[in-house]
Structure formats: structure tokens, C-alpha cells
Structure 1
């Protein structure tokens, strides 16, 4: 939520082009969190419980090594991307460093959850949020900001967020790297990460293809009004991701204990919680747009555009939240392949629909392409979940003592 508050303040103090650049790069950074979840976080709970102690240590060293090397590669990719997005080289370097350290923090959070130290992850989130809020206060006092100040705030937040994991963890992460451990990651890739990564990338295409297409065609200035409108549904997206992480771990335990009926009941309860949150979000956004839109949105942002975009986003989020519980269930069961196949199909539909609507009606209605892709994704997810639950119930009934393996408990991956 601190990142959401920072975006709200920057909306007021940055010009349209700079806010568009910031929002675009923030979305790219958040995509990298999902990629990291697939490559490194999702396998953690399984690798820390499988095999003997020696093999677990080898695989963990391999993950630490590839995680650090990958963060370095991410920095080298983020730096030119920031420059292409219109940020000065100094600001682009700050963004690249903050995004790379955020990936290391993301892995550390997953490691804390997987090793039974959730308070460290909570402390990390708190430290990160406090630094962002401090930067936000400084921006408010100065009544001005630039992209360098915004990315410096994110960088300091990422550094502060790493400290709560402790000296032993940081030493293992930053000094325990060995090139000899790199080949060990091949087994992780083959067994876990491949399908999960495909799912993350194609889910991103389903959910955010308009970000890349609109920015490519119209530049950061053309994307900025859409980015501003997404702030109205950001609280629901934040809540959905946080609740998914919690519910996915609970479903994984239920599946691991063979309690398929309880896992299915958790899906229904999770959906009702999300629907309640969505209704609250709709009422709050409607009240803001009706009674005081200029409290948040500067005059350069068109009100008719914002109202229409808000309605479209509310529809997108409604479809997304209705299929999120089933996505969490399939992740908990380790069913990455059907998830990936679902997102592959929906991503193609979404990209084509966004491109057509952008060409015909401009950036605003490109959001409709995301809605079409989400509908296709939801339909496939619901079907795959029905098939999995029926199959799991049948296996459980035919072999009451069997335990169905849970695959993704406690991982901080983004939810497809």
C-alpha cells in the first residue's frame, strides 16, 4: 500500500510524461517479481522438504547463486529499458538498482516463509513501507519531485527491506555464490520452473498487454491517463495478491492432507471475501469520482476518460477476482501446466483484442481487450479446476489414506 500511496502523490507532482514513465517502469518491475516467483520462489517449499540434507543444501546454494546472478542480469536489462522509457541515465540507473534489489528481497521473503520465519517477511515489508512513506512525506513537504527522487525512494526501501532477514541470510546470499552451483538449477528448471514461468509471462500478456502496446504506440504521455485510472482499482489488486498468498498456503496444506472437499470450500469462501472487497472498492471509487475527483487527479486528466476507464477496470477486476480462487487452488496442487495453457490461450486473445481496439478506438478502449482476455482466461481456469477437483476427489475416495502432494505452499509468487 505504501507503493500505492507513493503513486498517488507522484500523480500530483509529476508531469504527464514523467508519471507515464514511472508507471510503465513500475509495472515492468512488478512483472519481474512474478518471473522471480516462477524461477526461484515456487520451487522453494518443495526443495526444502525433498531429499536428504546434503541434496537440499546443494539445491539451496544453487538457488542463491542463480538468484544473485539473475538480479545482476536484471539490472543490465532494466538500465537501458529506463533510458528507452524517457528517463535520464542517472534516474534509469537508480530504477535498475531498485528493481534488482527488489528481486533479491522477493526471494528472501519466499525463503522466510518456506523456512517458517514469516515474521522476517513481515518485518521486511514494514521496513520497506516505512522508507517509502518517509520519502512520500519529503515529497509532500517539498511539493515537487522528479523521477530521480522517486527511484531513490524505491532503492532505499529495497535496501531497508533486506536488512530484517539477518546477517546469516545476507552472508549466504551475497558471499556464498559459486559458479560450481549453477548447473544444479537445471533440475529445478525442468521439474518446476518451466511451466510456471510460461504461465507468468502469458498471464502478464493477458493482464497488461495494453501497457506495452499503448506505450509503444503513444509513448509514456499516452499511457499516463490509463495508469492514473488504474489507481482506482489498485487497492483491490493489492488485497487480491495478499489474500491469494495466504489462501494458497492454506489450500496447499488441505490438499497435502487429502482434504479436497475442504480445499473446494476454501475456494468458495475466498471468492465471497474478494467479492465483498470489490463492492467496497466500487463504492469508494464512485464516491471519489462523484464528490471530489480533483483531490486525486490533476486538471490535465480528463474526467470523462477517467470515469469510463474506471468502469472498464472494475469489470476487468470483477472477472479476475472470480477466477482467482481457482487459480490459487491449481497453484497449490502444483498444476502449473493447465494454468500455463490457460494463460497461453488467453494472452493471444488479449493481445489481438487490445491491438484491434487501440487501432479502432484509441488507448481508452484498449482496456476492453484486457477484459476479453480475462473472460477467456477465467472460462478455461474454471473448467480445469472442475476437472482437477473431480479427479482428486475420485483418487481420494478410491484410496482414503493417500496424500495428494501440495506444490506451492508459502511462495510469494504473483497469482496468474
Structure 2
């Protein structure tokens, strides 16, 4: 099988499985739009956003360094054990965050369900990354597909019984359990057995060299991409956040495809760079970008079709259609910018350029937060998305500059360039 055919199969698996998960989650949130009021929908959407943020934190703290380390020539088994320990602790902590946020937003009776959901979701997310790192994408994709099927089936039963905020949280939790089972008993045994066998002491080097920078990058990326969610929800309440969250459903397939393809492509790029094959790594960047731009095109076309001809199928009459159209247009621009910048970001992560990524991310986050704060305080909450557009645009510029420096540093005779970068060039 040639390289192009192999890449097509890998991308097909990595894109179709999270695409099915996105479709199932879309059905769930669509049902919630019809069954619950805007405040409850805003609460649910905000907690799901926290779960998504948890995926990013998991990538930073665990999945990214784990993938890079076990694919590196100097692989250390004891260090690998520490990732299972960190993952268990992180999963418990993030479950508490999700439950606490639900309680603060007024969903006090459902808080324990959201805490359970947050814990399960983080365990499954690392399980997928573990399988991708071991180059077993079919099993990882099977977990997504089983999760999607279970979510649709359980959602159908929940709708017959009367869908509520609590039923929505329970539905996702049960589907996540099904996805965990599909990962295989081997992973679950390893997760809990290795968590006790591992030592945080062996994770210290990973934290100093990689995780603290990727964590800083993820936090700044979250601020760049989702500052509006926190600002609008805290300042105007979950009901004001509902229209923004509702239109974001249209671009969820793009976000999930980006995340899943990241887990697939990062280890491949890391292997290429470890072997000194920069051209192969750059081909991976181009394939990644082509794939996600294709997903973007199809997804946005579907969103335009629904909003133009059948908006009443999704939204109650209480939602303002012009505001929904504005929000959708801004989401389309934001997701396009993300599709363009993410492949370059993954290349830089594979090259372990974590510090410059983090420093640029901080600058972009500060700009986005400032813009969002000004927009929320001066205009309608819906326009807070313009601050995210600005932050993502600067992120794209930074990726172009950093990728160009990486290419130069990979050229023969460029030791001076590499030394200059390591000692001084972080912005």
C-alpha cells in the first residue's frame, strides 16, 4: 500500500469516528434545545465546554508528552508509568471542576452527574491517546463509534421519558462508559494498575521540559478561543450564552476533527522529525490542513443550508434569527482560522518547541481577553465573538513565523539559527 492510500485510510478513520461522535452530540444538544429552557441549555453547553477544555488540558499534561516520549528513541518505561498516575489524578480533579461549575451555575441537583461525566470523559480521552500513540487507530476509532451509537440509543430512550438537564448529563455519562468499554479491558487494567505502580517523581522531568509549556499553551489557547463563554456566562448568565452556544453546534464537527487528527498526526510528525525527515513532516502538515479544510467546507455548507431554509427545526421562536446568523458567521471565520493554524501548531509540538508556542499563546490570549471584555461591556454579548476572531488571527500569524523558523533551523549549517532561537527568540 502506497503512502497516499495509507494516509487516506488513517485520515478516514480519524475523521469519520469523531464525526460520528459530533453528530451524536449534535442530536443531543438539538434535543435539549427543544426540551429545556435557554438557561438550562446554557448550563449544559457551558459544562460540555469545560469537558472540551479538559481534553485540551489532558493533551497538554498527559497525551502530548506521552505520545512524544514513547515514540522517542530513548524511551523510559518508568516515566511512561507516571502518565497513568497523573491521568487518574487529573481525571478526579476535573470531575470536581465540572461538578463545582454546575453547582455555581444553579444546576445543584445535577452537579454530581456532571462531576461523574467529567471524570469518565478524561479517562476515555487518555485511553484514545494511548491507542493512537501505540499506532492502533482502528481500536481508538471503535471507541468513538460505540460512544456515538450508545449516545443516540440512550438519547432516544431519554426523549421518550422526557429529556431534562439531568437526563442529558446521564445520557452522556452512560455513552462514555460504553466508549470506555470499547477501548478494551487491557487499557482499563493498565490505567488503574499502572496508576499505583507509577511515581510522580518520574513525571518531574516531563513537567519541566514539556508539560508546563504545553499547559501554558493550552490555557492561553482556551482563553483565545473561549474567553467569550466565560465572560458572557459570568456577566450575563447562562441564558445570554445560549444563542452563542447553540450556533457553535454547527462547527462542533470541525473542532472534533481537529482534535482527533491532532492525536493521529502528532506521533507521525514526531517520528519524522526524530528521523530528521523534515519534508515528510511538512507533507503531514499539508495533508492535515487539506483534510480539516474539507471538513470545514462541508460543515459550514450544512450550517448555511439549515439557517437559510429550516431554522425552525432547530431553534424555538424565542431565539432571534438575525442574532443566530451573526453568531454562525463569526463561528465560521473562527473555525477557518483554527483549521489553518492547527497543523502548524502540531508540527511545532512534535518538534518540542513548547516554550515559544506558550509565549505566543499568552500574547494572543491577552489580546483576545481584552477585546472580549471590551465588547461584552459595550455591545451585545453576541459580538464578543469578534474578540475571538482577533485572537485567532494573531495566532495564525504567529504560527507562520514559528514554522518558518523551524524550517530554517532544520537546514544544514543552521546551528547558529538554532542556538539563537534557544537562547533568545521566544516571541
Structure 1, unaligned runs of 5 or more: 399-416
- 8 Å contact kept, 2:360–2:395: yes
CA offsets, 1:130-180, max 9 Å, x none?
A: 2211122123434x3111101111111222222233334322322444387
User: 1:212 matched to which residue of 2?
Assistant: 230
Counterpart check, 1:92 vs 2:97: no
| Structure 2 counterpart SS, 1:247 | helix
Aligned counterparts of 2:332 and 2:239: Cα–Cα separation in 1: 23
SS at match of 1:394: coil
Partners of 2:92 and 2:258 in 1: CA distance: 30
After TM superposition, give the deviation of residue 101 of structure 1 in Å. 1.2
Q: TM-score, normalised by structure 2?
A: 0.86
Aligned in 2, Cα 1:92/1:367: closer, same or farther, shift over 3 Å?
Answer: same
SS at match of 1:43: helix
Q: Is the Cα contact below 8 Å between 2:254 and 2:299 reproduced in 1?
A: yes
Aligned-CA RMSD value: 2.3
Q: Which residue of 2 aligns with 1:21?
A: 43
Cα deviation, 1:317-351, whole Å, max 9, x if unaligned, reads 22222222211221222221221112111000000
Q: Secondary structure of 2:319's match?
A: coil
Deviation at residue 305 of structure 1 after TM alignment: 0.4
Q: CA deviation at 1:239?
A: 2.7
Question: What CA distance in whole angstroms lies between the structure 2 residues aligned with 1:104 and 1:282?
Answer: 31
Conserved? CA contact 1:316–1:371, under 8 Å: yes
What is the CA distance between 1:374 and its match in structure 2?
Answer: 0.6
Q: For the structure 1 residues 88 and 181, does the alpha-carbon distance in structure 2 shift closer, same or farther, using more than 3 Å as the test?
A: same
Q: Report what 1:103 is aligned to.
A: 122
The alignment status of 1:389 with 2:407, answered yes or no, reads yes
Query: Partners in 1 of 2:85 and 2:269 — Cα distance?
Result: 30
Query: Per the alignment, do residues 204 and 151 of structure 1 end up closer, same or farther by CA in structure 2, a change over 3 Å counting?
Result: same
Q: Count residues in correspondence.
A: 394
Task: Select the residue among 270, 274, 288 that pairs with 2:306.
Answer: 288
Distance 1:174 1:242, change over 3 A: closer
The answer on whether the counterparts of 1:358 and 1:366 sit within 8 Å (CA) in structure 2 is yes
Matched, 1:254 2:252: no
1:3 aligned onto 2:62: no
Please report how far the alpha carbon of residue 301 of structure 1 lies from its aligned counterpart in structure 2 after TM superposition. Answer: 0.9
- Give the distance between the partners of 1:63 and 1:250, measured in 2 at CA: 20
Instruction: Give the C-alpha shift of residue 269 in structure 1.
Output: 4.1
Q: Which has the higher contact order (CA 8 A, sep 6+)?
A: 1
Contact kept in structure 2, 1:260 and 1:393, CA below 8 Å: no
What residue ranges of structure 2 are gaps of 5+ in the alignment? 1-21, 417-427
Give the Å deviation of 1:188. 1.9
Q: Distance in 2 between matches of 1:396 and 1:124?
A: 44
- What is residue 316 of structure 1 aligned with on the other side? 334
Q: 2:64 aligns with which of 36, 42, 47?
A: 42
Separation of aligned partners in 1, 2:385 and 2:227: 9
